[in-house]
């Protein structure tokens, strides 16, 4: 596959990209991008479980929305050496780190990266591909202001028989109250807000688009792992 050497940007015709959110994310991660993976591995639980659940064809095309440092795409690439890997993020700071990490992992030739708003980009224009077999949201819906719009947009890019995989902070209702409250306070410092109505939103989107939704709790409600599945044509 042809892989871009730069980090292009793209917007979906008729939609307005939220560049202010991109500027906010750059401010948040400008000094954290290089150490992000070292610090987040202790509390971004369930990411490897999501990768285990992908179960895709060897040469499948996978897109990660808000791919951050590229950590997940690199792990997926190692597990699926023939997979076609794509990632978008609204933060230029994170994309630069993803480019460095993919080069270090000798995967820069496999991973196409682009700067884009999760709710407002044309995949054909931005990534040279219209549909994907798997689309991943890993701990990003809790940071995207119009997170339901991001999910709706992802549905338009999902190939027949494809799946959207999600892992994010859960309601944490089975954890001690003091612990959940402390986590939410800490997350707010990074503009992160758990989406307690994620499950309801997924089932609503599934019903509207003829998809199948599945959600399950992870680590006593600390996180939620979910999928949206499109039937094969």
Instruction: Flag whether pLDDT at 14 surpasses 70.
Output: no
Check residue 6 and give its pLDDT: 43
> Domain ranges in the chain?
19-229
Bridge partners (DSSP) listed for residue 117: 120
Please report the DSSP string for 197-229 in residue order. THHHHHHHHHHHHT-EEEEEEETTTTEEEEEEE
Angle, vertex CA 214, rays to CA 37 and CA 124, nearest 5: 65
Residue 16 has pLDDT above 90, yes or no: no
* pTM recorded for the entire structure: 0.80
Q: What is the pLDDT of residues 111-140, one digit of tens each?
A: 999 999 999 899 999 999 999 999 999 999
- pLDDT tens digits, residue range 172-213? 665 556 455 556 655 655 556 778 889 999 999 999 999 999
pLDDT of residue 42: 43
Higher-pLDDT residue of 89 and 171 is: 89
What is the CATH number that goes with domain 19-229?
Answer: 3.40.50.150
Mean pLDDT computed over 57-79: 95
- What tokens were used for 32? 């954290």
Token duo for residue 140: 């990003």
Measure the N-to-C terminal CA separation of the chain; round to a whole number of Å: 25
pLDDT at 194: 75
3-state secondary structure of 114: strand
Residue 39 pLDDT? 47
């Amino acid at each position: 596959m042809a892989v871009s050497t730069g980090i292009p940007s793209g917007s979906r015709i008729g939609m307005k990209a939220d560049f202010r959110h991109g500027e906010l994310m750059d401010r948040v991660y400008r000094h954290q991008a290089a150490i992000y993976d070292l610090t987040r591995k202790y509390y971004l639980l369930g990411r490897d479980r999501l990768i285990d659940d992908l179960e895709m064809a060897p040469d499948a095309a996978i897109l990660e929305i808000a791919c951050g440092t590229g950590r997940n795409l690199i792990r997926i690439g190692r597990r699926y050496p023939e997979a076609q890997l794509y990632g978008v993020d609204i933060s230029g700071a994170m994309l630069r780190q993803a480019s460095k990490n993919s080069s270090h992992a000798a995967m820069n030739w496999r991973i196409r990266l682009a700067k884009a708003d999760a709710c407002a980009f044309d995949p054909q224009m931005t990534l040279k591909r219209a549909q994907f077999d798997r689309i991943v949201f890993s701990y990003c819906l809790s940071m995207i202001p119009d997170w339901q719009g991001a999910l709706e947009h992802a549905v338009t890019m999902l190939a027949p028989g494809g799946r959207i995989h999600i892992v994010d902070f859960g309601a944490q209702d089975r954890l001690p109250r003091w612990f959940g409250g402390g986590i939410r306070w800490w997350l707010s410092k990074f503009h992160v807000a758990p989406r307690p109505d994620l499950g309801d939103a997924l089932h609503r989107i599934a019903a509207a688009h003829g998809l199948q939704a599945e959600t399950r709790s992870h680590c006593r409600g600390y996180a939620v792992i979910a999928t949206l599945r499109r039937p094969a044509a």
